[in-house]
């Protein structure tokens, strides 16, 4: 099997997508942060000292997705068409599930942008609540689905 990010001498390289035709692409990623009931209540009641936690996490997710190529070495800078972030309350955990959907018309996929968006959003929640709960856990960060490109569609089996 040939690895696309290595040249013939096993040196890292960025894949050349110059000859590829642009296609519509979409990726959905999600992740969960679990926390104490006290931290969860601070979010729900909007009493966290650092401000509106979920709104800030959504903005951070968008910024993270847009900056993916700056922090992951082999990712191409992309002109993203859309980024959508959804936060689900998980009161029984307690915690939150963050889902990020990224779309573009381009020559390479947006899976890394969706995964980065989720990661940055969840880290933002952690940062804003760490004074209340240092034992929060970020987990289950994963690609849920992707559409477009040469490899076709993928949908996670539950």
Q: Which of 45, 84, 92, 127 is catalytic?
A: 127
Active site residue 92: no
**Max alpha carbon distance in the chain (Å)?**
57
Query: Using alpha carbons only, how large is the chain's radius of gyration in Å?
Result: 18
HSE (side-chain half, CA atoms, 13 Å) at 82: 10
CA 17 to CA 83: how far, in whole Å?
22
CA 9 to CA 114: how far, in whole Å?
31
Query: How far, in Å, are 11, 20, 37, 130, 142 from residue 50 at the CA level?
Result: 44, 45, 18, 10, 28
Active-site positions?
A: 127
């Amino acid at each position: 099997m040939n690895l696309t990010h290595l040249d013939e001498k096993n040196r890292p390289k960025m894949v050349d997508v110059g000859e590829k035709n642009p296609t519509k692409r979409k990726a959905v990623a999600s992740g969960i942060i679990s926390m104490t009931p006290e931290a969860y209540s601070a979010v729900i009641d909007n009493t966290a000292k650092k401000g509106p936690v979920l709104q800030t996490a959504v903005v951070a997710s968008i910024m993270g997705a847009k900056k993916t190529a700056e922090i992951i070495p082999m990712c191409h800078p992309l002109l993203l068409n859309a980024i959508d972030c959804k936060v689900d309350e998980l009161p029984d955990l307690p915690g939150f599930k963050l889902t990020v959907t990224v779309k573009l018309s381009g020559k390479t996929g947006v899976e890394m942008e969706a995964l980065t968006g989720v990661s940055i959003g969840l880290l933002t929640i952690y940062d804003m609540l760490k004074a209340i709960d240092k034992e929060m856990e970020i987990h289950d960060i994963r690609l849920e689905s992707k559409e477009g490109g040469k490899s076709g569609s993928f949908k996670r089996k539950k």
